[in-house]
Structure 1
Amino acid sequence: MFDYHVVVLGGGLAYTGVELLRRAGLKVAIVERESGHLGGVCLHEGCIPTKLYLFEVRKLFDLNNSPLIECKPKLNLRALKEKKDKLTKRLRDDIERLLKGVDFIYGYGELVEPNVVQVEGKRISGKYIIINTGKSYPQKPNGDDLLQLQELPQKLILVGDDPIALEFATLFALLGTPVELCFDFKVLGFVNPSIRERLLKVLKGLGISLLDLRDFKGGDAYFLYRRKPNSQCINVELSLDEKGHILVDKNYETSVKDHYAVGDVNGLSETAQAARLQALSVARRITQGKGFYLSPHKVPYVLYTQPLSYAKVGFTKIELEEKGIEHSERSLPLRPFAVGSMYHTEEGMLFLYFDKKGFFLGGEVFCRDAQEVLSGLVLSLHGELTLEFMSRAPLPHPTLSELPFLRL
């Protein structure tokens, strides 16, 4: 009756669920608009290339700020772009090898009726449809174009409300480019005020000129407004929110039976880790009859600014206050700790929040490699650990990962 058991519209991180479907013996097709874009935004314009750039620039920062190194190196942007291109190609090829036996159909795909996807005039059907079309920047030039630069600009103007603009600002500032950031700072309203103040201080310390988004007067700029959901290819009456996200239930099923939406296009949590787990949940539901639901507030969020970054999981201080949730707070400045000096993160700080019974509600971290520090807190939240249990965890010393568990 159907051409495939499952048709996946969009070649992003849903491939993690496709691997489970393939192992279960189901016939699966992935429809992707461009043959060179398998792996989606995360692999080609998002998580992987941007963090490669940021981590390489952080190495440069460390070398140039070390009193022990006399020679001060420079970064070859052209060579870095070549490294990025080789890495994304290798990872894309790895995905194709991982999914051997899955049909890849390249071309613009549209859901034209329930269970039917049309690709360049050809119709294919699936018992189950997984929509994984992601999001795109609404305006050019944007962050995708920044990753194509082979020479440093004389000056860089960044405009928008996407937090990744802060990452690009620190990246190019550390490379020596004068940066003007016209940003909607209200999007940082969920961040602990003490951390927000320290973050802005770090940005100014890098020489970044901070302006309100409304103060942008025009000129050559890169526009980093929040990406918009790619739901225009859906010609079936699925329920959408006012921004165009596809509404789903706790099984990630849309308003049409056996049609699922995972990743950025459903708007629940715009992170790669959420997209991966949502796809895995849907695959388990299809193959085993039951998936799982990932509460958005339990998905870790990281802002990879350099040299210090921000990460959070669970509720932040602001969110707890807005929800009226009674809580206690543990704060920790990193300057007094040897590990703070060893890792050049003396300006760092972290905050942990607990309910009346001592159960962990959430944490915010601002320090070097905050994403690594956060991992223990993610497990603490999902494991529903208490303050007492966390205080007895014997973590390796001296490490950044132990920081949240000191002096509880």
Structure 2
Amino acid sequence: MEYDYDIVFLGGGLNYAGAVVASKARLKCALVEKNPAHLGGTCLHNGCIPSKMYLAAADTVRASKKAHFSGSLSLDMAKLDEEKEALLARATKAIMKQCENVEIVEGEGVLTAPHTIEADGKTVTGRYVIIGTGSRPFIPEGIVYDSHSVITSDEVLNMREFPERIAIYGDGAIGLEMASFFASVGVETELIWRHDTLLRKAHPKISENAMKQMEALGVTLLPDHSIETAKKAKKGVHIRFSDGSEHHVPKLLVATGRRPNVEAVRNDAVAVDKRGIVTDEHFETTCKDHYAVGDCNGKLQLAHAARAEVLYVVRQILGEKPEPLNLNHVVKFIHTLPCSYAVVGETRSELEKRGVEYKESVVPLSGLPFPHTHDGDLGVMVVYADEDRFIMGGEVFCPGAEEIIAVVSMALAGEMDVKLARRTILAHPTFSESLERAFDRL
């Protein structure tokens, strides 16, 4: 059978990175995307790029409230939104430039048969198909989303003015990050979630300090609360909890996770289950030469994981025989203020769940001069080693944790043991030197 293209990429999120690499290798590629202006996907347009931009601005406001500063500082959301839109426009233009040798097929693509994509009346075929259709916010049953009073991350990252008060439902990355953002800029903020602790899979000391940090920011914490119904009322949002109690807020941000977009798969040859599109360890679906990467395969909802997956698949197609990806070695983080949480590899909760023997080293940052002057008093460094004294993973809670964790990530990639890790000499005064101390204590 003759195909129109060597590879058809369905979805233009981080999938575009694979299309760029494949086209540079002289493969004929098409990228099917319903909105080419949204190339780069949720991370760029409605996720991690704007949210981290907002958090950086909020952190300046938070820091300005310290006693050694005088005067007051406020954040102009309209101006921040304008700056964000200009940034996203430049980034999208750069992506379009990178894709100059990729055929962009505009339309909502659907896999109707093996190797065959239909998009708004157009049909394209590919020797290989790589599906990267991403995910969307999940709205629990009983919550009536209206994009104005009851919102998701899509709306919150396009605000041009602050609400008088906001309630956030969910203790995942979006919920915790947005609670940090709103509280830091002075918006009265409530955090509602169904469990009794925050970061419940993290090391207990980190989980405890995450709660303390939210309280210090002024967030009203409502643990052990499950929303049964929520809908727009005459004034704001009327909430009914599962215990029968009622609550009113001006605005409700629903941050209860995301669900994979699998509707584009309309062919039984590609299996789909409750997690997403079914793939093997090489991201190949149940249909040969058809792959699914990123959020839609339900493995790991992170932009950098999606990028790594699509590049791995393209390198397989190019015959490069890349090393299989270990998704457990992908850094995961939540950018709260002032301390962020980052983790890579094994954690105490997972090791205990599987009954694996391990040794941990825990270094609290309270009382240390540099962390104290850089808002890290609640910080904690944790590293884990196995019985043979090889590094298994680490958890970091401190300002810039998503950068500090790179030390542990490299240790895992290099299969370092404790003896080798202890040879690492890190700078002083820094947060990373406390990670050096953690290695020394293993």
Give the TM-score taking structure 2 as reference length. 0.88
Distance 1:123 1:175 in 2: 49
Map Cα deviations across residues 47-88 of structure 1 (whole Å, 9 max, x no partner). 111111111111221222251x32322111111111111111
1:19-30 alignment, distance < 5 Å: 19-30=20-31
Map Cα deviations across residues 344-377 of structure 1 (whole Å, 9 max, x no partner). 2122111111111110011111111111110111
Structure 2 residue identity aligned to 1:239: A
The answer on whether the counterparts of 2:339 and 2:379 sit within 8 Å (CA) in structure 1 is yes
Distance 1:98 1:268 in 2: 27
**Correspondence for 2:203:** 192
Match of 1:312 among 343, 353, 358: 343
The answer on whether the counterparts of 1:251 and 1:291 sit within 8 Å (CA) in structure 2 is no
Distance 1:187 1:113 in 2: 44
**Correspondence for 1:275:** 306
The answer on whether the counterparts of 1:313 and 1:378 sit within 8 Å (CA) in structure 2 is yes
CA separation of 1:213 and 1:10: change in aligned 2, threshold 3 A: farther
Secondary structure of the 1:190 match is: coil
The answer on whether the counterparts of 1:372 and 1:401 sit within 8 Å (CA) in structure 2 is no
1:325-336 alignment, distance < 5 Å: 325-336=356-367
The answer on whether the counterparts of 2:16 and 2:39 sit within 8 Å (CA) in structure 1 is no
**Residue 178 of structure 2 corresponds to residue 178 of structure 1:** no
State how many pairs are aligned: 406
For the aligned residue pairs, the C-alpha RMSD in angstroms reads 1.6
1:276-291 alignment, distance < 5 Å: 276-291=307-322
**Correspondence for 1:119:** 119
**Residue 214 of structure 2 corresponds to residue 203 of structure 1:** yes
1:194-273 alignment, distance < 5 Å: 194-211=205-222, 212-214=224-226, 218=230, 219=237, 220-237=251-268, 238-243=270-275, 245-273=276-304
**Correspondence for 2:48:** 47
Distance 1:66 1:187 in 2: 29
Distance 1:330 1:138 in 2: 37
**Correspondence for 2:138:** 138
Secondary structure of the 2:318 match is: helix
In the TM superposition, what is the alpha-carbon distance from 1:123 to its structure 2 partner?
0.5
Distance 2:101 2:217 in 1: 50
In the TM superposition, what is the alpha-carbon distance from 1:137 to its structure 2 partner?
1.0
More helix by share: 1
Structure 1 unpaired stretches of 5+: none
In the TM superposition, what is the alpha-carbon distance from 1:114 to its structure 2 partner?
0.6
Distance 2:228 2:428 in 1: 47
Distance 2:385 2:92 in 1: 42
Please, which moves more after superposition, 384-393 or 136-145?
Answer: 136-145
Distance 1:393 1:161 in 2: 35
Distance 2:333 2:74 in 1: 27
Secondary structure of the 1:6 match is: strand
The answer on whether the counterparts of 2:198 and 2:208 sit within 8 Å (CA) in structure 1 is no
1:3-22 alignment, distance < 5 Å: 3-22=4-23
Distance 1:257 1:338 in 2: 57
Distance 1:167 1:236 in 2: 38
